[in-house]
Amino acid sequence: MLRRITLKSLWNRRLAVSLTIAAIALSTALILAVERVRMETRASFTNTIAGTDLIVGARTSPIQLLLYSVFGLGDPTNNVSWDSFEKISAHPSVAWSIPISLGDSHRGFRVLGTTRAYFEHLRFGNDRQLALSNGDLSDEPLAVVLGATVARQLGYSIGTGIVIAHGTRDDGLSGHDNLPFTVTGILAATGTPADRTVYVSLEGIEAIHTGWESGIPVAGETLHADHLHEADLHSEAITAFFLGLEQRPQVLQFQRAINNFPEEPLLAILPGNALTELWQLFGNAELALVVVAAMTVVTGLLGMVVGIFSTLNERRREMAIMRSVGARPGDIFTLLMAESALIGVIGAASGFLVLTAAALTAAATIGDSMGVSLSAGMPSGRELLLLGAVVIAAIAAGALPAWHAYRLSLHDGLSARGG
Amino acid sequence: MSECIVDLADVAYAWPGHQPLLKISRMQITAGERVFIFGPSGSGKSTLLGLIAGIHLPTQGCVTLFGKDTRTLSASARDRLRGAEMGFVFQQFNLISYLSVMDNVLLPVSFSAARRQRLGSIAEREQQADALLAHLGLGGHINQQPAAELSVGQQQRVAVARALLGKPKLIICDEPTSALDAQSRDSFLEVIANECQRNNAALIFVSHDQSLAAHFDRHLDMHELNPLISAEA
């Protein structure tokens, strides 16, 4: 019966109450979305590279090496000589090595020169391998494999011919148009920077740069496709390389050895450590988002408190009636607490539904335009904690008007003339 | 046969920090009797009803309700006693507007375990509420209507049904007829007197309208009860 009184009382004020619930639901959805995007971004971030024990490049800062070798961000300062790469790769501790060569682009997408080893050994996510959704890997020097996003955004398919631009900014002026490449394979989407990468062979990179040693094409020295097979396409230098070791416990020792490599100043990093370090740079921005979202929840709850307070005066008569049939001031307190608890529970639950609906309808749009993923699903442990925190905060906030009502009913007794 | 249910002895009441506004040397109500208390506003009748309801404790003297000295009871024990043994009808706004007539009549069940027990099962409660409403001239179809849709006269009768539900021993009416026209007032008085008699409940009826006194066994005048009554009242 008390439950019925609470429900009917809320129903009687359904417009105001539903607005209050909407405010709490939206703010709850916001804080859940921030949490979910945060977690998924972190997961996809730390899943960008897996199974690689060391990344080796010219000496620079670990984060910079990580940024250009894994995320395709920023420009490498120096190269690693092919000799050093071969020497280190030949070490008995090394299980596999993947050379990469960066510095060119195609219509805004990074071009990465590498070998078949890249597709065989590199892992992302939970030990997943890069997989082709279309076509094949080819040993032809001018074959190109596209990341899923590249193919989709540029509308390329198997057989499309493309020209690679010199430098990472494709200004349409200095293109390697003497050697057009052909798309032979398209990768399945991974949710990592691989989706936005154009893969070519190291020979291809070497071929387009022949005659470009000074940074601009020198007439007569550049290659033409017809002469490709006669040319020596052996790389002199690469940008960086990924290493997999036979035995992981050796990794620190091996890292130290590379960092002290006598023939060339090199830097070896553990991808996991560097990723963590990089992620910490975002920590403050993350925190700011969480704080803003939490403030909207507080605002929503304040709305609820104001809403309940505004009804108290007209409900003094109602409280006097209840007192006359034996209600204690504590019962009045309980009734009002039940009201805010119910609003809090419905608000939090609706917030979760709003988030799920948003994830189901808008996830693709959000993912494409902002590069963040928001997936629908059951609440995680942390999300349940957040939902619980919203409900507890609603109950705590509801104690304010409930306490006021308690004082009022104690003071008024049976004689309130309000209403 | 003449069990004393309300007994005020040498009672004085003052709001904290104020001069006493009520002083009653003796006042007793026995079971089943019908008492008319004549009191214009400002005569201390609200305070008197607060003392009888167990809302207020006397600052001096002793209020005994159903054999219990109110000063020995905790606040919630007094609330329980009120819920168990008393029914109230106020001047107006007796009902919770968003609850149905039936829910309003059943309201004491929510707050008083004693009345709940006396009423028995949910079906029995509703049956008794139905019967009371029927006795008060309110038909079945009205029971599920929101209280707000009733006329003032109907609302006052619903309040009587609520006051009587679960057979409390004392019904207290505070100016219940002042919002009614002459015709409804007479029928209301008749109905409430009959119902109290039928339910063996004592009735305390407070009004400033002396013409209603004829319906009652005993008449008390606040002017005589309370020597502190202000001269202008």
Quick: pLDDT tens for A77-114.
889 999 999 999 999 999 999 999 998 888 888 999 99
For residues A319-339, give the mean pLDDT: 92
Taking a C-beta distance cutoff of 8 angstroms, is the pair A217, A211 a contact? yes
pLDDT of residue A142: 86
Would the pLDDT of A182 be above 70? yes
Would the pLDDT of A166 be above 80? no
For helices A381-412 and A271-312, angle between their N-to-C axes, nearest 10 degrees: 20
B55: nearest CB among A2, A12, A413 = A413
Give the Cα separation of A203 and B197 in Å (integer): 111
Q: What percent of chain A has pLDDT over 70?
A: 88
Contact between chains at B83 and A9 (C-beta distance less than 8 A):
no
Interface predicted TM-score (ipTM): 0.91
Taking a C-beta distance cutoff of 8 angstroms, is the pair A250, A91 a contact? no
pLDDT of residue A174: 59
Q: What is the mean pLDDT of each run of 10 residues along chain B (233 residues)?
A: 85 87 90 90 86 92 93 93 92 88 91 88 90 84 87 90 92 87 84 87 91 88 81 46
Would the pLDDT of A192 be above 90? no
- Which tokens hold the place of A15? 């417009």
Candidates A10, A315, A316, A325: best to mutate against B (most CBs of B within 10 A) is A325
Candidates B49, B90, B95, B119: best to mutate against A (most CBs of A within 10 A) is B90
Q: Which residues pair with A33 in a beta bridge?
A: none
Q: What is the dihedral of CA A387, A392, A393, A398, to 10 degrees?
A: 130
For B60, phi then psi, to 5°, come to -155, 150
For B11, phi then psi, to 5°, come to -90, 135
Q: Which residues pair with A143 in a beta bridge?
A: A182
Q: What percent of chain A has pLDDT over 90?
A: 45
CA angle B14, B19, B23 (to 5 degrees): 55
pLDDT category of residue A227 using cuts at 50, 70 and 90: low
Give the Cα separation of A80 and A98 in Å (integer): 13
Give the Cα separation of A97 and A100 in Å (integer): 10
DSSP state of A167: S
Residue B43: which of B223, B176, B184 has the closest Cα? Answer: B223
Would the pLDDT of A283 be above 90? no
Q: Which pTM was predicted?
A: 0.75
Q: Using beta carbons and an 8 Å cutoff, which residues of B are at the interface with A?
A: 46, 49-50, 53, 55-56, 75-76, 79-80, 82-84, 86-88, 90, 93-99, 103, 106-112, 115, 162
Torsion sign (Cα): B222, B228, B231, B233: negative
B139: helix, strand or coil: coil
Give the Cα separation of A130 and B190 in Å (integer): 92
pLDDT category of residue A387 using cuts at 50, 70 and 90: very high
Give the Cα separation of B159 and A274 in Å (integer): 76
B93: nearest CB among A9, A317, A327 = A317
Residue A103: which of A190, A164, A35, A34 has the closest Cα? Answer: A164
Contact between chains at A413 and B99 (C-beta distance less than 8 A):
no
For residue B79, what is the nearest residue in chain A, using CA coordinates? A326
B96: nearest CB among A318, A323, A330 = A318
Please state which of the ranges A217-231, A258-272, A390-404 shows the lowest mean pLDDT. A217-231
- Cα A146 to the center of its chain, rounded Å: 22
pLDDT of residue B233: 44
Q: Report which residue type is found at A399.
A: A
